[in-house]
Amino acid sequence: MSLAEHRDAGPDQRRVPETFESTAPATGAVVAVFQVHGPDEVRAAVDRARVAAASWADLGFDGRRTRLAAYRGYLARRVHELADLVHRENGKPHADAILEITLAVDHLAWAATHARTVLGPRRVSPGLLAANHAAWLEYQPLGVVGVIGPWNYPVFTPMGSITYALAAGNAVVFKPSEHTPAVGTWLADAWRAAVPEVPDAVQVVTGLGETGAALCRAGVGKLAFTGSAPTGRKVMAACAETLTPVLMELGGKDAMIVDDDADVAAAADAAVWGAMSNAGQTCIGIERVYATERVYDAFVAEVTERVRGLRPGTDEAAAYGPMTMAAQTDVVRRHVDDAVAAGGRVAAGGTVEGRFVAPTVLLDVPETSAAVREETFGPTLTISRVRDAEEALERANANAHGLAGAVFSRSKARAMDLARRMRSGMTSVNSVLTFASVPALPFGGVGESGFGRIHGADGLREFTRAKAITRRRFPLPVDLMSFTRPAAAADALARVMGLVHGRHR
Ligand code: NAD
């Protein structure tokens, strides 16, 4: 059964099929056929992963680091093979697939190298009351982490959870999107080939939403979900049944602020890349620009000029590919129609042919329209004129999403101030999306964009539980936490409190 047939089937005919096809968005050709794994198969994968997790954790930081290096090497040596598969199954240009894989490999290297420093045992100050004890903090793995991924960055996005979870000492069961199961399966096969002594530490289960729901209920230590907010709510509800903790990496509606003193040409170049690359199917893609009165006309001219030179397609010269999911073209069309009906102007594009959406620039779109409020996930950009950067920030922040964003300004202090006050998990100044390529920086959103972090030290800790240990070094003459303590001990303690803390007013 194809995914389209499953989607279009009425509720009576809709049954969970035994297999499903992954197809190339550009041609409709079948890439491969996959099994739909049911609850029993998912649970069996998690059970196998639990056994593997114990061996994987026993390897310790150094042991895991060498195995993760082997995985990294394996991926790096086959970058073209994997990029070709991503190109076929997701539709993005081969060169963009290489960029995506490179970023994932770089993160893998960082996570493996820094895991001990971030998570390893460390002594902390025991404080005044436990001065006769040693105090230790360490971050222990959770066991098995379930990862549910989307299709838009089928390597980079799930690997942001998978590799950080592995580096932290967990095994992983990964449910890739039904639109990119071949890429997900390739990543797990690569693991088995590169690290054959712990093959079950990374496994893939394939299927539709039901398989993802089964993973939520399969007894994993944590569920890392990346996808849309509506599905995220279902995942949270399923995980709530077993109090399984969740990480939510959801959608965005990222804004760029172009201030009076911005390098307008650079801002336009970045906005066009941020909005149109990967056919706009980027959670941290730029979908809205707020340009101040002083730069608005020049910015619009620069953007429309650049967009004129872009076109979607499947050939080498195409700037981006088809929409990966056919249904996404309907969303784009609805947003463009709604923007125009509300008084917006189409400065470029606005057309959809089959799965190919022309690079689209919309002007004067009211803030209440769907094109400004909802995630479009297509190669579209709205540009709005604002009085100043403060108004730009106010409008940028008036959205339920809060994933990322960008600020363009020549003033370092002003740009940093705006970046700090932007209601988002990540902001880049004078560029777009850069934070995603800095492994030490955490990645994640606020509001409808989710919670929790992948990448960086926070991304390692996300897949652990903090463990606190104290060890008594020597006894004190008076033990305050004993029934043997003398009656006067509490008075003495109160006097010490008065001396240490009482002077503060
Ligand atoms: P989606 O929510 O439709 O699907 C995501 C995954 O959830 C798929 O694997 C799907 O099979 C699974 N799923 C569906 N129903 C489920 C259920 N009931 N229980 C468990 N799993 C279920 O999202 P998508 O269309 O694949 O991805 C696009 C969305 O992902 C966009 O909103 C995009 O912004 C977001 N995204 C966010 C990030 C981030 O890091 N914040 C990164 C990439 C994509």
∠ CA 420-422-423 to the nearest 5 degrees? 115
Burial grade of 499 (CB within 10 A; 0-12, 13-18, 19 or more): exposed
150 CA distance to ligand 1 middle (Å): 5
- What integer pLDDT is reported at residue 5 of this predicted model? 62
**249 catalytic per annotation:** yes
Cα–Cα distance between 443 and 107 in angstroms, integer?
12
- What integer pLDDT is reported at residue 316 of this predicted model? 87
* Beta strands at 246-249 and 222-226: parallel, antiparallel or unpaired: parallel
Pocket lining: 349 vs ligand 1, CB cutoff 6 Å: no
Cα–Cα distance between 256 and 279 in angstroms, integer?
18
- What integer pLDDT is reported at residue 219 of this predicted model? 97
Cα–Cα distance between 20 and 178 in angstroms, integer?
8
- What integer pLDDT is reported at residue 418 of this predicted model? 98
- What integer pLDDT is reported at residue 258 of this predicted model? 98
Residue type at 268 in one-letter notation: A
* Residue whose CB lies within 8 A of the most ligand 1 atoms, among 100, 103, 283, for a mutation test: 283
Task: Look at ligand 1, atom 12, and give the residue with the nearest C-alpha.
Answer: 209
Pocket lining: 235 vs ligand 1, CB cutoff 6 Å: yes
288 CA distance to ligand 1 middle (Å): 22
Catalytic residue among 283, 287, 375, 462: 283
- What integer pLDDT is reported at residue 17 of this predicted model? 77
The model carries a pTM of 0.95
CA end-to-end span of the chain: 72
Count CB-CB contacts under 10 A for residue 225.
Answer: 28
φ, ψ for residue 501, nearest 5 deg: -110, -25
Segments of 142-213 assigned E as strands: 144-148, 171-175, 202-204
Kindly write down the DSSP assignment for every residue of 207-241, as one continuous string.
Answer: -SHHHHHHHHTS--SEEEEES-HHHHHHHHHHHHT
456 CA distance to ligand 1 middle (Å): 22
Contact indicator for 82, 96 with CB cutoff of 8 Å: no
∠ CA 496-500-505 to the nearest 5 degrees? 125
231 CA distance to ligand 1 middle (Å): 6
Pocket lining: 282 vs ligand 1, CB cutoff 6 Å: no
* Beta strands at 19-23 and 30-35: parallel, antiparallel or unpaired: antiparallel
* Beta strands at 352-353 and 356-357: parallel, antiparallel or unpaired: antiparallel
φ, ψ for residue 185, nearest 5 deg: -65, -40
Q: What share of the chain is helix, strand, coil (3-state, %, to 5)?
A: 45, 20, 35
Pocket lining: 205 vs ligand 1, CB cutoff 6 Å: no
Pocket lining: 163 vs ligand 1, CB cutoff 6 Å: no
Cα–Cα distance between 108 and 329 in angstroms, integer?
34
Q: Closest ligand 1 atom to the C-alpha of 283?
A: 34
* Residue whose CB lies within 8 A of the most ligand 1 atoms, among 20, 206, 231, for a mutation test: 231
Q: Which two tokens stand for residue 120?
A: 């390893």
Pocket lining: 283 vs ligand 1, CB cutoff 6 Å: yes
* Residue whose CB lies within 8 A of the most ligand 1 atoms, among 90, 228, 278, for a mutation test: 228
**Residue 390, CB half-sphere, CA atoms under 13 Å: how many?**
0
Q: Closest ligand 1 atom to the C-alpha of 231?
A: 2
Pocket lining: 323 vs ligand 1, CB cutoff 6 Å: no
Pocket lining: 212 vs ligand 1, CB cutoff 6 Å: yes
The parts of the chain modelled with pLDDT lower than 70 are 1-16
∠ CA 188-189-195 to the nearest 5 degrees? 85
Pocket lining: 226 vs ligand 1, CB cutoff 6 Å: yes
Residue in this structure with the two tokens 């602020």, named with its chain if needed? 257
Q: What is the three-class DSSP state of 63?
A: helix
* Residue whose CB lies within 8 A of the most ligand 1 atoms, among 148, 159, 244, 328, for a mutation test: 148
Catalytic residue among 178, 249, 287, 375: 249
Pocket lining: 202 vs ligand 1, CB cutoff 6 Å: no
Burial grade of 10 (CB within 10 A; 0-12, 13-18, 19 or more): exposed
Residue 505, Cα to own-chain centre: how many angstroms? 45
Cα–Cα distance between 29 and 22 in angstroms, integer?
9
